[in-house]
Amino acid sequence: MHLHSKTKNIIPCLSIILLNVMTPKLSAQTNPDTTTIVIIGTVHNSTKNFTEQTLYNILMHIKPNVILNELDSSFFSSNMIREKYANISLENKAVTDYAKDKDVQLRPYDIEGRNRIYEKNNYFNLQKQFSAALSKAGENNLLNAEAKSILQSVDSFGEISFAFSKEKPEVINSSSCDVSMKLKHQYDSDGLIRIAALTLSLKEYESFCKWRSDFWALRNNTMTENIIKWCSAFQGKTIVVLCGFEHRYYLIDSLTKKIKDGKFKLRDYQTY
């Protein structure tokens, strides 16, 4: 989707506002019998500020007993990521290198059959078609005032996400980024569904937008349940959860709601 040039000024302004948003701080204190969960938002491809070595160094500080990877079981062979997948992402490279000479357990926690689900629902082709149709609707002035306003917000938060993706890990794993990504996905979900409903030329994509929104929630909820499952299997250990940074807010929110018995505790990686 086209990014409006006027949104460039939104990024620094919004970042300043978000720095003042009060969000719960992740604990730095742990009980020896408590399973510690450390959620680290990552980028899937190396940038100037976030490389495989950067993540490797973070893992060296934490010294986790278990690392959960944003993959399903098809990417794994026993305790290791399959060799053919070891270099397809920043996380896979860093984790594979770390596990070579460290006593650590690697496990998948993404929804099973993730890639097959996308293929079965023709996700990538439909996303491309919808983006083209949305751009065309905007260029031909087919969007009403409400749809235009929503699209401006969608584009603005897309640009904000891109800006965050180029930052250092401490910025990507900040409350400001979490709040921004939560708002981004509210617009990506409810906002795009609303635009499709309001625009005659986009009506055919309304069900796709609804599926896209539902699958985002299903995938994140399944990730949460799988994290809890692995925490129960490795009670009292330190578990690092690696996720694309746009998932981080969702996982923290959902885990915070579910962790109420004192068996698990969330901790910020920067407290190590």
pLDDT digits (tens, 9 = 90+) for 47-70: 999 999 999 999 999 999 999 999
Closest CA to 256 of 90, 26, 58, 59: 26
Average confidence (pLDDT) over 240-245:
98
CB-CB contact of 117 with 72 (8 Å): no
Helix (H) or strand (E) holding 76: strand 76-77
CB-CB contact of 243 with 39 (8 Å): yes
Task: Give percent of the chain with pLDDT exceeding 90.
Answer: 83
List C-alpha distances in Å: 259 to 59, 125, 176, 232, 251.
Answer: 24, 38, 23, 12, 12
User: Scanning the structure block, which residue is given the tokens 């399903």?
Assistant: 72
Q: Residue 27 pLDDT more than 70?
A: no
Q: 201-230, pLDDT tens digit by residue?
A: 999 999 999 999 999 999 999 999 999 999
Q: 151-199, pLDDT tens digit by residue?
A: 999 999 999 999 999 999 999 999 999 999 999 999 999 999 999 999 9
Helical packing angle, 175-186 and 248-258, nearest 10°: 100
Closest CA to 266 of 19, 21, 23, 30: 30
Helix (H) or strand (E) holding 68: strand 66-69
Q: Residue 21 pLDDT more than 50?
A: no
- The whole-number pLDDT of residue 14 equals 53
Cα within 13 Å of Cα(163), Cβ side: 20
The fold adopted by the segment(s) 35-115+218-271 is Cobalt-precorrin-4 Transmethylase; domain 1 (3.40.1010)
Average confidence (pLDDT) over 232-249:
96
pLDDT band per the 50, 70, 90 thresholds, residue 31:
low
Residues 6+ apart with CB under 8 A from 154: 1, 187, 188, 191, 192, 195
- The whole-number pLDDT of residue 4 equals 39
Alpha-carbon span 131 to 147, nearest angstrom:
14
- The whole-number pLDDT of residue 32 equals 64
Q: Residue 1 pLDDT more than 80?
A: no
Q: Where are the domains of the chain?
A: 5-21+120-216, 35-115+218-271
Average confidence (pLDDT) over 231-250:
96
The first and second tokens of residue 94, run together, are 């860093």
- The whole-number pLDDT of residue 79 equals 85
Q: 69-119, pLDDT tens digit by residue?
A: 999 999 999 889 999 999 999 999 999 999 998 999 999 999 999 999 999
pTM: 0.87
